[in-house]
Amino acid sequence: METTKNIKMRKLQSKLYFVLTLIVILSLGACTPEKLSAPPTIQVFVNGDDVTSASTVHVTAGSRIEYRFDVTAFTTIADLKTVFFDIAIPSKKITKEVLVAGQANALTESVKGVIFASSDTEIMLVVKDIDRNEVAKSFTFIVD
């Protein structure tokens, strides 16, 4: 014959098991690694031609170069930056950052710009998203 005290103890025990199980489930949930989005992808176009894979183009001095970077992100774009490397002297690149006008508010954005060829230059777009993915893509034009 079970005493009343024993019945109470067993009830308390089962409640404790339930709470413990709940804590374990919650802890496991909290420990699940954060799912990060895939990094953005960038396609590069120069004067309308896709140069994403072959990123060097030859131009004549003074010609107008219209470039476009098509960015496809998988989460919100946090930052866009263009960097220009003047490679007039191949051993010493002169770097300058140029601000990008306008606001990124979609997952697919196009960055357009123009430059008039004077010396060999590499133009790079750097994209960061809110998952801290950072991707850069560039093209180089050589003045013949």
Partner 1 sequence: MNKIRAFFILLPIAAFALVGCDTEVIDNPIIITSGIAKIRHPMDSTEHYFQLGDTIVYKFEVTSPNGISKIEFSNFQGVGVNQKAPVILSKVENLSGTTWTLVDTIKNIQEDVRYSIYVEDKNRQFKTQQINAYLDISRFMALVLYDGLINGTSKTFLNVESGRTFFVANTINDPTAMDFGFAFLEAHSAVLACFVSFDEYWNTGNYPSIVNNLNQPIIFKKWGIGTTVNTWIKANVKNSADLKAKFDAAINYPTVAPLFPDTKVALNIKAKDVISFKTADGRYGLIQVTYVNARSNSTANNQTITLSMVVDKKPLTNN
Among 112, 119, 142, 144, binds partner 1 (CB under 8 A): 112
Residue 99 within binding range of partner 1, rule CB under 8 A: yes
Q: Does 64 engage in binding with partner 1 (CB under 8 A)?
A: yes
Candidate ranges 2-10, 29-37, 100-108, 134-142; the one touching partner 1 (CB under 8 A)? 100-108
Are the C-beta atoms of 31 and 116 separated by less than 8 Å?
no
Should residue 124 be labelled a site residue for partner 1 when binding is judged by CB under 8 A? no
Beta bridge partners, 123, equal 84, 139
CB closer to partner 1 out of 42 and 80? 80
Q: Cβ neighbours of residue 100 under 8 Å, at least 6 residues apart?
A: 80, 81, 82, 111
Q: Which helix (H) or strand (E) holds 4?
A: helix 4-31
Cβ atoms 126, 81 nearer than 8 A: yes
Nearer to partner 1, 18 or 116 (CB): 116
Contact status: 80 vs partner 1 (CB under 8 A): yes
- Out of 22, 98, 130, 142, the only residue in the binding site for partner 1 (CB under 8 A) is 98
Query: CA 144 to CA 58: how far, in whole Å?
Result: 6
- Which residues from 23-52 bind partner 1, rule CB under 8 A? none
Of residues 67 and 141, the one with the C-beta less far from partner 1 = 67
**Dihedral pair phi/psi, residue 13, rounded to 5°:** -60, -45
Among 130, 144, 138, 120, residue whose Cα is nearest residue 39: 130
The nearer residue to partner 1, 20 or 106, going by C-beta atoms, is 106
Which residues bind to partner 1, rule: CB under 8 A?
A: 62, 64, 66-67, 80, 82, 96-106, 108-116
